[in-house]
Amino acid sequence: MKEEKYLKKLGERIANRRKELGLSQENLAKQLGVHRTAVTRIELGNTNTSIGGLRLIASVLKVKLSELVDIED
C-alpha cells in the first residue's frame, strides 16, 4: 500500500475513534499537547506522525497501538 493511502486510512481510523469517544479535535489536541490543526493534518493523512505520537494518540483514544496501525490493503 502506498504511504499516502496508508496515512489517509490511519487518519480515518483515528477520526472515527475520536468521534466514538465524543471528543472534538480541540479536546484531542489538548490531551496530546498539540494544536488542533495538527490533529486535522493527522486525520486527513497529511502528515506522517512519529511512533511516539501514535503511541500517545492510541493511549488517549483508549486503544492498542496495533489497532490503529494494522491496516490491510
For 14-53, write each residue's pLDDT tens digit: 999 999 999 999 999 999 999 999 999 999 999 999 999 9
Residue 69 lies inside a defined structural domain of this protein: no
Distance CA 19, CA 4 (A): 23
Residue 53 lies inside a defined structural domain of this protein: yes
Distance CA 14, CA 11 (A): 5
- Residue with the bigger pLDDT between 73 and 52: it is 52
Q: Please report, for the domain that includes residue 54, its CATH number.
A: 1.10.260.40
Give the pLDDT confidence score for residue 73 in this predicted structure: 67
The boundaries of the domain holding residue 19 are 3-64
User: In the chain, how many domains are there?
Assistant: 1
Residue 22 lies inside a defined structural domain of this protein: yes
Residue 9 lies inside a defined structural domain of this protein: yes
Residue 17 lies inside a defined structural domain of this protein: yes
Kindly tell me if the per-residue pLDDT of 66 is higher than 80.
yes
- The position carrying cell 496515512 is 7
Global pTM?
Answer: 0.93
Residue 70 lies inside a defined structural domain of this protein: no
Residue 72 — very low, low, confident or very high, per pLDDT cuts 50/70/90?
confident
